[in-house]
């Protein structure tokens, strides 16, 4: 029996449903796909397909429904054996991801997800990289808002740089269109699943140093000038900035570590988030410190999970943000690259060249995320010969460096551009 091109697992969840809607709307990228949806409940899958069919005005009667449960390894392997690429939307991944990765490798099926959880991602590389290579499959996490804009954004700067790129600093800013700001305050702007992953990630952050020592027993050499962290709160570009709490720093480090191991000079990277108001910045910094402190004990971690609206200042609700809010949430990453002109003596001169790139779009958590996720899957299907080696657990930058993924994303409202050179 021939395999489907893709199967979306966790299809009835918030992100999974958005991925199903994206494929169902069709267009040149999706009309030729054979695809299916998977989840624990046949009834919920049937209801999902009816709802999405009505919403998109498309006949989805031929979409295959597959019942699979993360607690049933046999069902996971049967699901994976029916597709070329598994699109896993079932998180938190630290709780539910490993059995799915294992099943994909056993079934010799490529795998992509939207995890922003460093502990899960790096454990998968440590435990399953060799197995994925032996099976000839690619296991690629963080194919969404975490961390396509920054990971592929650094690639974009490197590809548009003549000379030696030494460092990149990224500044994320977001805003909701003014006419939807009241609804955003009422219904929130972040889905509960994202909050759950963040809380679990903070609660288990103390495990990362030992994990990384196993994953990378030898440090990379130190390159000069060294990119030092800026202050916990600093000004840049007319705003106030804090360190970005996502997985992007660790993802880009893994990408550049892979480039170093392939014989290239790695790029140093740091990520920040920018706000227009000093008061808002100070308040969010306080919330961040409070979150970290509360994840030190199981009791207070449970409070964070049970009362997300209160502890997130209204940004997270269990019901999730309204459709009109997420579709009118805008984001922009400004990536500031510094280095040397071509043929400069990088040992004797200071960096003398700057390029600022920008990655922008709307609906970061669900629109841009599912576009990036699905096009990562499509790139494996259609450009596998341009990907490195014969498989493995890779970052997006390492997997898709020589592919047309950035061009595909540009054609689908996730815009990469160079805005300044000096």
Task: For 2-59, write each residue's pLDDT tens digit.
Answer: 999 999 999 999 899 999 999 999 998 999 999 999 999 999 999 999 999 999 999 9
pLDDT of 320 > 80? The answer is no
pTM for the model: 0.95
Tell me: do 128 and 243 sit in the same domain: no
Percent of the chain residues topping a pLDDT of 70: 100
CATH number of the domain enclosing 79: 3.40.50.720
Tell me: do 104 and 192 sit in the same domain: no
pLDDT of 1 > 80? The answer is no
Q: How far is CA 114 from the centre of its chain?
A: 5
Tell me: do 189 and 100 sit in the same domain: no
pLDDT of 318 > 90? The answer is no
Tell me: do 235 and 382 sit in the same domain: no
Residue 182 is predicted with a pLDDT of 87
Tell me: do 167 and 187 sit in the same domain: yes
Residue 323 is predicted with a pLDDT of 86
Spell out the SS3 assignment of the chain. CCCEEEEEECCCCHHHHHHHHHHHCCCCCCCCCCEEEEECCHHHHHHHHHHHHHHHCCCCCCCEEEECCCCCHHHHHHHHCCEEEEEECCCCHHHHHHHHHHHHHHCCCEEEECCCCHHHHHHHHHHHHHHHHHHCCEEECCCECCEHHHHHHHHHHHHCCCEEEEEEEEEEEEEECHHHHHHHHHHCCEEHHHHHHHHHHHHCHHHHHHHHHHHCCCCCCCCCCCCCCCCCCEEECCEEEEECCCCHHHHHHHHHHHHHHCCCCCCEEEEEEEECCHHHHHHHHHHHHHHHHHCCCHHHHHHHHHCHHHHCCCCEECCCCCHHHHCCEEEEEEEEEEEEECCCCCCCCCCCEEEEEEEEEECCCCHHHHHHHHHHHHHHHHHHHHCCCCCEEECHHHHHCCCCHHHHHHCCCCEEEEEEEC
Tell me: do 353 and 308 sit in the same domain: yes
Query: Each residue of 59-103: pLDDT tens digit?
Result: 999 999 999 999 999 999 999 999 999 999 999 999 999 999 999
The number of distinct structural domains making up the chain is 2
Contact 80, 109 (CB under 8 A): yes
Name which of 53-67, 189-203, 288-302, 408-422 the model is least confident about.
189-203
Tell me: do 159 and 185 sit in the same domain: yes
Instruction: Find the domain containing 167 and state its range.
Output: 148-363+407-421
**Distance between CA atoms of residues 394 and 346, nearest Å:** 30
Tell me: do 196 and 258 sit in the same domain: yes
Token pair in block for residue 74: 């046999």
Query: Each residue of 349-365: pLDDT tens digit?
Result: 999 999 999 999 999 98
Mean per-residue pLDDT for 165-173? 97
Tell me: do 132 and 195 sit in the same domain: no
Tell me: do 138 and 228 sit in the same domain: no
Res. 254 pLDDT band, cuts 50 70 90: very high
Q: What are the beta bridge partners of residue 416?
A: 359
Tell me: do 186 and 331 sit in the same domain: yes
Query: Each residue of 197-246: pLDDT tens digit?
Result: 889 888 888 999 999 999 999 999 999 999 999 988 999 999 999 999 88
Tell me: do 121 and 181 sit in the same domain: no
């Amino acid at each position: 029996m021939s395999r489907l091109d893709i199967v979306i697992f966790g299809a009835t969840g918030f992100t999974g449903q958005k991925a199903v809607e994206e494929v169902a709307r069709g267009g040149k990228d999706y009309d030729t796909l054979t695809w299916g949806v998977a989840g624990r409940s046949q009834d919920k899958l049937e209801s999902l397909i009816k709802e999405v069919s009505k919403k998109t005005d498309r006949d989805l009667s031929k979409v295959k429904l597959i019942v699979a449960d993360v607690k049933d390894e046999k069902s996971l392997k049967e699901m994976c054996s029916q597709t070329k690429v598994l699109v896993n939307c079932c998180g938190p991944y630290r709780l539910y991801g490993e059995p799915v990765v294992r099943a994909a490798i056993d079934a010799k099926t490529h795998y992509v997800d939207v995890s922003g959880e460093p502990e899960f991602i790096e454990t998968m590389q440590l435990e399953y990289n060799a197995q994925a290579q032996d099976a000839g499959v690619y296991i690629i996490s963080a194919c969404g808002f975490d961390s396509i804009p920054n990971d592929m954004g650094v690639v974009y700067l490197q590809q548009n740089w003549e000379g030696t790129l030494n460092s990149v600093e990224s500044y994320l800013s977001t805003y909701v269109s003014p006419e939807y700001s009241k609804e955003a305050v009422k219904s929130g702007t972040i889905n509960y699943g994202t909050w759950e992953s963040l809380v679990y990630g903070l609660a288990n952050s103390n495990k990362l140093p030992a994990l990384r020592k196993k994953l990378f027993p030898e440090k990379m050499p130190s390159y000069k000038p060294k990119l030092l962290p800026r202050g916990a709160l600093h000004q840049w570009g007319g705003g106030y900035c804090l360190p970005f709490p996502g997985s992007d720093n660790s993802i880009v480090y893994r990408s550049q570590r892979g480039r170093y191991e392939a014989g290239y000079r790695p790029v140093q990277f740091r990520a920040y988030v920018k706000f227009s108001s000093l008061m808002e910045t100070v308040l969010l910094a306080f919330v961040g410190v409070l979150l970290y402190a509360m994840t030190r004990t199981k009791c207070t971690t449970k409070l964070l999970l049970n009362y997300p609206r209160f502890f997130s200042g209204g940004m997270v609700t269990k019901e999730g943000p309204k459709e009109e809010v997420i579709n009118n949430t805008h984001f922009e990453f400004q990536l500031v690259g510094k280095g040397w002109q071509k043929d400069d003596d990088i040992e004797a001169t200071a960096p003398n060249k700057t390029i600022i790139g920008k990655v922008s779009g709307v609906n970061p958590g669900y629109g841009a995320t599912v576009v990036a996720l699905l096009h990562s899957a499509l790139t494996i299907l259609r450009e596998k010969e341009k990907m490195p080696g014969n498989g493995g657990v890779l970052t997006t930058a390492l997997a898709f460096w020589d592919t047309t993924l950035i061009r595909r994303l540009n054609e689908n409202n996730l815009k990469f551009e160079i805005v300044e050179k000096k």
